Chains A and B, each alone.
Chain A
Amino acid sequence: MTLAAQDLSLPGRLSGVSMELHRGAVTAICGPNGAGKSSLLRCLAGLMGGRNVLLDGLPLELRSARERACEIGYLPQEGEVAWDLTVETLVSLGRLPWRSGAEADRIAIDAAIATLSLETLRQRRVSQLSGGERARALIARVIAGTSRWLLADEPLANLDLGYQQTLLGQLRALAGQGLGVVLVLHDLAQAANFADRVLVLDRGRLVADAPPLEALGEATIERVWGVRARWLGEPGQRALAVEPTSARAP
């Protein structure tokens, strides 16, 4: 039920990161550019060599690539789709690690399409989708894999406000059903409002690991991002007011 890192280091990218994540919650990874957010996510997905990453207490590298793929779904930031597939075919690629038979595949694909409300777009080609529809189809691809963990690198980039809210709501609901959701998020207000827990990375080190407003305290934001900011609004509807600065600290 846990995905953990123990003293995880990658030369030049991560140093000594240790933490343990639990399923059924949304975890956000935040940090300035180059802090190692994507590297951490890739390590957790077992794509950088599974050493020092533990899934349910066992090193990830002890599992076969296929076993790992059945447990952990991963969505890269680029969201490449090389061929002009239909949404349904795209979503069906999520079933590749499984050899569970056509009927089980069909059920999982239908469920993923329904979860992301893509029913009317089933036969639509990827090239004819809007940015938001495409992002939803790519997430449905991961959901169709019925993995226990969903790791996504900036799934909200390029989405308008409405789609961002819908997608975050859908991811929250999935976490409510027991999925472990780990997202790299740039927008600190989104992390504060939607995540159960926030990890803050700064130059490869884990500098905060706590519930959102604790991890993203005003002092931490100033230290890590080099800007002065104040949280406004009610819990769950927080907004970040950033003070204008003449120059950003290096």
Chain B
Amino acid sequence: MTRRLNPLLIAALLLAVPFSLLAGRVWIDPFDPGSGNALAILAELRAPRIVLALTIGAGLGAAGAAMQGYLRNPLADPGLFGIAPGAALGAVLSFWSGYAAQPWALPLFALTGAAGAMTLLALVAGRGGSVILFTLTGMMISSLAGALTSLALSLAPNPFAMSEIVTWLMGALTDRSWHEVWIAAPLTLAGIGVLALAGPGLDAMTLGEEAARSLGVRPGRLQALMILGVGLTVGSGVAVAGIVGFVGLMVPHLLRPFTDRRPGALIVPSALGGALLVLVADSLCRLLPLQGELRLGIALSLLGAPFFLALLAGMRGRLA
């Protein structure tokens, strides 16, 4: 099963991508794609949106798998380090200051926010590589960024900016272009590469911090890889799509039983699984017959929360 997991996920992606290309408000006839404005819809709307969904999902999935491995906890989520809230704060500030009208400003502000959170995390947690200190620092940065986001909201210059911020925070992939793809895709790919480098160190962490060090893991280096990898994947994801929750929590959890359960072995499958989940969820958002379009972030939370409640109800006996 372990060896067949990646090919299976890739096969599912190969099925899902063409389906997603054709599906939407306007269904495209695969045998006559040239009719009407179908080509324009494909090239300028659907294709970038699909690439973006794959990118963000892959980044969140890989970051979630690495986080769970690093914290040795199946409930860890990429948002825990404060990087996603930091990126969100940056994006909110770009709305607040009015710069969001420029196409490059919003992602740039968000990336700066993510980088700021990463720097703060590295500075406070220091070089010792203690996981507890690191987690607490991340949680504090997360609360601080959250509080500042609320502050920016409450002091919003006008109701229009406020509603824009709130909608954006919900996370979505509507009306994204190749522009966003060029920002997010290289950074996310680099981030997944960095997280894959952390794989052996994360495997060693299975035995606890001390045993990991005795196996030659340098805690400071592992922590630096985590900050960089999660920062790049999550930061660039939030920069182009807003807050998309649950993917990083859910996907590694779902796929772990099909691997040998080493954290390092879960990173690439989680990237593929995350890409698949976000792609399918986003396609469904497009298809649901609602007045407006269902926001991706909301859809994933609507899907994720009951899923986890069911999982927890099943685990109740074992946890007690």
Contact = CB atoms under 8 A, between A and B. Distances in A.
A42 interface: yes
Interface in A87-103: 89, 93-94, 96-97
B206 A47 contact: no
Nearest to A69: B216
Interface string B178-215: 00000000000000000000001001111110110111
A72 B214 CA distance: 8
A69 B208 contact: no
A210 interface: no
A73 B214 CA distance: 7
Contact of A96 (B73, B216, B260): B216
A80 interface: yes
A47 B218 contact: no
Interface string A58-92: 00000011111110111110101111111001000
A97 B215 contact: yes
B208 A89 contact: no
A66 B205 CA distance: 15
Contact of A69 (B203, B210, B215): B215
A85 B260 contact: yes
Contacts of A23: none
B263 interface: yes
A89 B260 contact: yes
Contacts of B217: 65, 96
A242 B210 CA distance: 36
B176 interface: no
A241 B176 CA distance: 80
Which has the most chain B C-beta neighbours within 10 Å: A46, A70, A76, A82? A82
A47 B219 CA distance: 11
B261 to A, nearest CB: 5
Please classify how large the interface on chain A is, using the bins under 10, 10 to 19, 20 to 34, 35 or more: 20 to 34
B207 A93 contact: yes
Nearest to B257: A84
A45 interface: yes
A134 interface: no
A141 B206 CA distance: 12
A141 B213 CA distance: 14
Nearest to A78: B208
Contacts of A82: 72-73, 205-208
Contact of A80 (B73, B211, B263): B211
Contact of B214 (A64, A74, A78, A81): A74
A86 B216 CA distance: 22
Nearest to B265: A89
A248 to B, nearest CB: 31
A65 B220 CA distance: 12
B218 A65 contact: yes
B211 A75 contact: yes
Given A85-B206, A85-B260, A96 B214 contact: no
Minimum-distance CB pairs A-B, first 6: A69-B216, A74-B214, A82-B72, A66-B216, A80-B208, A97-B216
19 contacts: A45-B214, A64-B216, A65-B218, A72-B214, A74-B214, A76-B207, A80-B211, A83-B261, A85-B261, A86-B260, A93-B206, A96-B203, A96-B204, A96-B215, A96-B216, A96-B217, A97-B215, A141-B207, A145-B215
Given A47-B214, A85-B206, A96-B217, 18 more contacts: A45-B214, A65-B217, A69-B216, A74-B210, A76-B208, A76-B214, A80-B72, A80-B208, A82-B73, A83-B206, A84-B261, A85-B262, A86-B260, A89-B262, A96-B203, A96-B216, A97-B216, A141-B207
